[in-house]
Amino acid sequence: MSKKNKPIWGTRISKRTPGIFEKVSSSIHIDKRLYKEDILASIAHVEMLNRQKIINFKVKNKIIWGLKKIQNQIIKKQYLFDYKDEDIHMSIEKKLFDIIGEDAGFIHTARSRNDQVLVDLKIWMINSNNKLIKMLDQTIKNILKIAEKNIYTIMPGFTHLKNAQPISFAHYILAYVEMFSRDKQRLINNFISLKENPLGSAALSGTSFNIDRNFTTKKLGFKIPTGNSIDTVSDRDFVLEFLFASSVCAMHISRIAEEFIIWNSDAFKLISLNDNIVTGSSIMPQKKNPDPLEYLRGKVGSSYGNLYSMMTILKGLPLSYFKDLQDDKKNVFESFDNLSDSIKVLNEVLKNFSINKNEMLNLANKGYVTATDLADYFVKNLNYSFRKSYQITSKIVNYCEKNKKKLSDLSIIELKKIEPNTKDDVIKVFDLKNSINSKKSYGGTSFENIKKMIRKYKNA
């Protein structure tokens, strides 16, 4: 083996592993994405080593100069990521030897790849969580615009996909502001563990060098150093938190996607998608298919997959570091990419659909959606219990069904036949607007409430 091609452990281990093992154990095609973070953390590390008089000033400067040169080469695509170097950490360290010579050997004093990979990944995740949070802010803004324009757009609210009670379209779409706000909060909560600095835990037991973990903590923007070096190199809770948070967000996106697919269908026709968010069929010339929405509905599957994959890797894994953990990055990167693409697609969808208000109103006029209002009317006006009022209303609905009438078609005489104490003013409860406006309970669908909700979200 020539020295150049030898792995760093080539002095101890005389034989190369079979090619297939080199292939499967190499993660450079995935973790090369961490090169900036790796260089940033290495610079902080050698600065600390020098401050603590563990390496001298000249060596520190030489290393930093070399690292910056490597960064430039990578940015300019003049850098070869060789899978034989196993991972980004080994790759950069080897390259540093090529550039500055033997002094490169000081860089790995008082650290291990076990803490190095964690510091890189945490820095990367803090930045990407911030990106997702910003993108969700945009989604929320887009939703608020739609809500503002549709306070008085009436639709049937569904349970079990059956017409249930009339609601405002704004109220419906604002439900997603709640979901995406919780998604944001979950990503923010992730910062609690992400902001603990793993650097300095070394392989698992810490180090005998007099390092200053508080210095690297501050320098790299962390809050505190992690508390137990064994836990640090074994812990991937922060990864699980992210994979869960991104799965829930992807799941919320899949729900609005599914609703829009149904509502855009020829059977419902409640919304229409603009031409820029539909695709054609290779055989049926008339088709306009909601492919982007189907992409959103389907993508959640791989987010769940990554979460389960990581949960399974961690199950029963003894302490501390094992190669099994290397897959964490693939899971995080894939879930991040999926979610960030999905939010972008969703943001486009939100700007490119229209509401068929008449269809919505027509549908809201079907399915006896004011039946609950009628039952409430009997409670309030005749002093009946709700259960008794419910039974009377059921009879009235049965009568309507039999006679092919809507509740609002009924005459007061017909109503009195079933409930003799009914008064003339009952008619107002069949009006959809009245029904919506009567739901003044906190969080309910009344127009007044919706205006307040929009104001609250805008000021949040």
**Residue ranges in contact with ligand ARG by CB under 6 A:** 27, 87, 113-114, 117, 321, 323, 325-326
- Strand bridging mode 154-159 / 162-168: antiparallel
Closer to ligand ARG by Cβ: residue 144 or 325: 325
Minimum gap (Å) between residue 178 Cβ and ligand ARG: 37
Q: How far apart are CA 31 and CA 45, in angstroms?
A: 20
Output the six-digit token pair for 224.
Answer: 């505190």
CA atoms within 13 A on the CB side of 69: 13
Q: Per 3-state DSSP, what percentage of the chain is helix, strand, and coil (rounded to 5)?
A: 70, 5, 25
Minimum gap (Å) between residue 114 Cβ and ligand ARG: 5
**Helical (H) or strand (E) element with 26:** none
Closer to ligand ARG by Cβ: residue 89 or 184: 89
Minimum gap (Å) between residue 318 Cβ and ligand ARG: 14
3-state secondary structure of 154: strand
Q: Which of 2, 14, 160, 354 is catalytic?
A: 160
**Is 160 considered catalytic here?**
yes
Q: How far apart are CA 132 and CA 340, in angstroms?
A: 6
Closest by Cα among 251, 199, 241 to 332: 241
Closest by Cα among 371, 360, 341 to 173: 360
3-state secondary structure of 166: strand
| Secondary structure (H, E, C), 305-345 | HHHHHHHHHHCCCCCCCCHHHHHHHHHHHHHHHHHHHHHHH
End-to-end CA distance of the chain: 63
Minimum gap (Å) between residue 326 Cβ and ligand ARG: 4
166, 432 contact by CB (below 8 A): yes
Minimum gap (Å) between residue 75 Cβ and ligand ARG: 22
Closer to ligand ARG by Cβ: residue 333 or 377: 333
Closer to ligand ARG by Cβ: residue 234 or 365: 234
**Helical (H) or strand (E) element with 424:** none
Minimum gap (Å) between residue 52 Cβ and ligand ARG: 24
Minimum gap (Å) between residue 116 Cβ and ligand ARG: 7
> The tokens 């603009």 sit on which residue?
274
- Size of the chain in residues: 460
Minimum gap (Å) between residue 130 Cβ and ligand ARG: 23
Q: What is the largest CA-CA distance in the chain?
A: 101
Closer to ligand ARG by Cβ: residue 28 or 273: 28
Q: How far apart are CA 243 and CA 238, in angstroms?
A: 9
Minimum gap (Å) between residue 241 Cβ and ligand ARG: 18
349, 278 contact by CB (below 8 A): no
Residue 93, phi then psi, degrees to nearest 5: -65, -45
**Is 45 considered catalytic here?**
no
Closer to ligand ARG by Cβ: residue 34 or 271: 34
157, 166 contact by CB (below 8 A): yes
Closer to ligand ARG by Cβ: residue 113 or 439: 113
Q: How far apart are CA 55 and CA 394, in angstroms?
A: 84
Closer to ligand ARG by Cβ: residue 199 or 325: 325
Closer to ligand ARG by Cβ: residue 303 or 331: 331
Q: Which of 25, 205, 265, 281 is catalytic?
A: 281
Residue 166 CA to its chain's centroid (Å):
30
Catalytic residues: 160, 281
